[in-house]
Amino acid sequence: MKRIGILTSGGDAPGMNACIRAAVRTALAHNLSVFGIRRGYTGLIDGDAVPLDRTAIRNTIHLGGTILETSRNSEFYTKDGRLKAAASIEKMGLDGIILIGGEGTFHGASLLAAETDPAALIGVPGSIDNDIYGTDYCIGFDTAANCAVEAIDRIRDTARSHERIFFIEVMGRTAGFLALESGIAGGAEELVIPEEEVSIDRISERIRRGFTIGKKSAIVVVAEGKTPGISFEIARQIGERLNFDTRVVVLGHLQRGGPPTLRDRVLGSLLGVAAVEALLEGRSGCMVGEIGGDLAYTPLEETWQRKKPLDEDLWRIFPFLSE
């Protein structure tokens, strides 16, 4: 192992730069040459790579987004595109690649490894949705959750002042981790998550019950699901049933940006070091994550083929906390 590449792919997540920084410093400490592949799989196909040294990653740990930039590349999901990527890897002389991203990133890497003989591939989970199997937490989740909680706190002030029901839509296309944890931390009265079928009757009744015991406002945290903006229709239906004033706030990409929290900087640093060490140990075709405080190595295929479950204890206690 002499020459490695690092790329970020898919949605950006706060803490990715901390991971890049840690991986570069660890690689240089082991006398490896490091190249940053720009714009994710687009750059891998195009051979768009720049050398990474200590100067390149200096003063980046506090930055959101990714200094390598990112993309979602449809060409990579064709065999032709993957063959181009394999040719670029060979031309760049890379012995190993660290891929920081989510399910789509690891799905693509699995296909690349199955069809060609590329460099050793090590994944690092970066996703504010926290939906990647094989790790308790993904880089970026803590920052996004704290952003959502701050928004809930601010909106609760105006909800209470005007006696309104607010629907706060957070990200989470197929998983409700962000909605569940921010909902608990923000004291929400109700949740809408992809893991459970939306029941307008149930949500309306729970909010109505809250009003009978003295509540004058309510917060509903909604995971965007497959149709961002779903909160508007839910709010309309519940407002009509309860004859109550409703408002919707869609946080959207606001949750992606900004400086990463302490937890995301530490997690990114830990997994960046672990990814380089995994390459030096001869590992390939796996993702390094953290489970129960220990490093864990999960085959790339499992990271996107297996569904990561919500924390059963958190889901169990929410109804008690929201009364």
Dig out the tokens for 133 from the structure: 């199997």
Q: In what order do the strands lie in the sheet with 246-250?
A: 190-192, 218-223, 165-170, 246-250
Dig out the tokens for 306 from the structure: 């297996």
**Parts of the chain with a pLDDT under 50:** none
Number of continuous H segments (helices) and E segments (strands) in the chain: 12, 11
Active-site hit among 48, 129, 131, 142: 129
> Which one-letter amino acid corresponds to residue 261?
T
> Which one-letter amino acid corresponds to residue 26?
T
Q: Are strands 49-51 and 96-101 parallel, antiparallel or unpaired?
A: unpaired
**pLDDT the model gives residue 118:** 82
Please state at what angle helix 79-92 crosses helix 103-115, rounded to 10 degrees. 80
**pLDDT the model gives residue 307:** 95
Domains delineated in the chain: 3-140+260-305 (3.40.50.450), 142-256 (3.40.50.460)
* Residues forming a β-bridge with 6: 36, 98
Return the SS3 of 18.
Answer: helix
131 is catalytic: no
* Residues forming a β-bridge with 4: 34, 96
**pLDDT the model gives residue 311:** 94
The pTM score is 0.95
> Which tens digit of pLDDT belongs to each residue from 96-149?
999 999 999 999 999 999 988 889 999 999 999 999 999 999 999 999 999 999
Q: What span, in angstroms and rounded, lies between the C-alpha atoms of 299 and 207?
A: 43
**pLDDT the model gives residue 205:** 94
DSSP state of 252: G
